[in-house]
Structure 1
């Protein structure tokens, strides 16, 4: 039997309250289940930037997960911060260390939702801090219906790695974000867009597997979602 690759997934961090009276980590079960069902061994990676290299030594691919927080605008050169922006500095510092280390090793990387945004920033891109403040007639990117249902379509850019993976010109995806990639920078190209023009996916043409999607493929809403996760596991095998 072929050895399953080990896929590291970054955790979220929460303040005391709810689950524990002390600070605690969190990750949705479907992140782990979706990776396991795609053929990988999912492992959780905590927020210890100084241990990034050690964690990368024991995993075969990295997934940077999403969360209800934002990348510090200072990291992409914005001197101002929109009122809606909230930060988790410790998480971002650790995820940047992991991302930069993984990219330097040419390790397969998948950025999901906020992870896609951080991937863009790590490679020189910039973000829209609050979509409703900048995009006229924007879609409801923070969809009102449950997150395990589709919110809108995305168009997949022909000739991209994502197009080859999913095998379709469009996908039905969920949407849970108020920020988006503004400019992916020179190192990334756009691979998916929403009908209102918001960037929904990016990828690197120079790395072995470096993909970011603004939606949450772990919910497996569209057939392409399982193909994305299978491609990540395959690249790590």
Structure 2
């Protein structure tokens, strides 16, 4: 009896530890979407799209198959204007039948890093961390953009990454689609964060581990 109780206790503790690790410990942030010039290999059509939150700014559509938590964003642009510590505005919109809809989130953050990661000649990576992570639903399309809060950040446009051309160009509260050339309309950017495990995946993992321990202890 004591032996059986001991086995049950070990099994319970093992399952509890796996549950804590799987459901409570967030995975390290990773690049969830990479449309940087170096990674895509796309032609840079411009580094001079004046991108300021008080006038003209841009957003690109995206979605993830799993729920996600966004923790940072990169945009690529001309190296002449940005300075570490400059304020940037990140805006997330819902998608309404293929166009930007309601503004869901607006964050005011600071440029934390300016470097050449993912960049090509003529542009740099401008990185901003999110003070508050942005939660996203699985299989839902959103639009996101980063612009200078009080001054232009000359955004990089790419050719041919998305042949449908889905880079929204905002002026005030109205928008159109940037059409620099045929097959263009793509914003050079990256999104960082973590994917949120589906509950069913976690339960399957726990069941599998439970059977494994039962085989060991029997």
Which bin holds the TM-score, normalised by the shorter protein? Answer: under 0.3
Quick one: higher RCO (CA 8 Å, sep 6+), 1 or 2? 2
TM-score (normalised: structure 1): 0.25
TM-score (normalised: structure 2): 0.26
